[in-house]
Amino acid sequence: PLPFQTDAEIEAFLAEAEIVSKQQIPVGITHPKKLTLEADGIKFCACFTDADISRRKVTEKINGRSFFSLDWHDSYRYSIAAYRLDRLLGLERVPPTIQRQVTRDPGAISIWIANTVTETERQRNLHVDVPDVRRWNQQRLLLQVFDNLVANRDSNLSNVLIDPNWRLWFIDCSRCFGETKNLYYPLENISQCERRMWEGLKSLTEDDVRQRLAPLLSKAEIKALMVRRDKMVRHFQKLIDERSEAAVIYDVNPPSATAPWGED
């Protein structure tokens, strides 16, 4: 456990702590690094990437469908923007992430959430069953709505961390945002919305986004984000009008078990 009470304290530590070691992470195409940070006798780990790649006229498969991007980006800036948007919505599913210069170029540094496994590891290596399928599905739905909002082009099993309380954390958001107005998860397959996400979507304004996410996002990217937000608000409001709020809006169940990687 780290001696921090707020995100601001974590952000300050990420910005100021001394880097005492670096280690290449053997996964991910952007060559992320695992850092060990230390200050005031406190030592903890962080993840860093300085990827900032741009391409023109890219067609890619996303969730089984083909999408075209005139300007395609894979940027550390988007990981920082995803964290700030997550906090605007009150979700606390993206680890604290800030900008810091570690290599020659600036990049994104985020707190390393210890004692977790990826969904890939759970399924393919550990073969551990989910103890509460309903809670699991509730969190997966939340991830799909968030992925739609941020236009996540790289949502996969390795970008979801599972902590000892079976809580899902969303990581590696460098291929999010952009100027697309498309929703990568079809809304006809999403019939419910987590309560905090719903309240956050309804209250989110362009001014809020501009104040927290500019200049990480361009004006066009902020406009596109709000278009995606509007589509989802209309979708869920229509479902509420047809079925009632109780049938559409849900609270994630509390944890009922501890994962094997959280046991002493």
160-202 per-position pLDDT tens digit: 999 999 999 999 999 999 999 999 999 999 999 999 999 999 9
Q: Which residues of 110-125 are buried (b: 16+ CB within 10 A; e: fewer)?
A: bbbbeebbbbebbeee
For residue 264, pLDDT over 60 is answered with no
Q: In this structure, which amino acid lies at residue 104?
A: R
What gap in Å lies between CA 238 and CA 233, rounded to an integer? Answer: 8
pTM of the model: 0.95
C-beta of residue 62 within 8 angstroms of C-beta of residue 144: no
| pLDDT tier at 263, thresholds 50, 70, 90 | low
118-151 tens-digit pLDDT: 999 999 999 999 999 999 999 999 999 999 999 9
What pLDDT shows up at residue 244?
98
What pLDDT score was predicted for residue 39? 92
Question: Which pLDDT score is estimated for 28?
Answer: 64
pLDDT at 2 over 90: no
Residue 1 has pLDDT above 90, yes or no: no
pLDDT of residue 27: 74
d(CA 179, CA 224): 5
Mean pLDDT of 200-214: 97
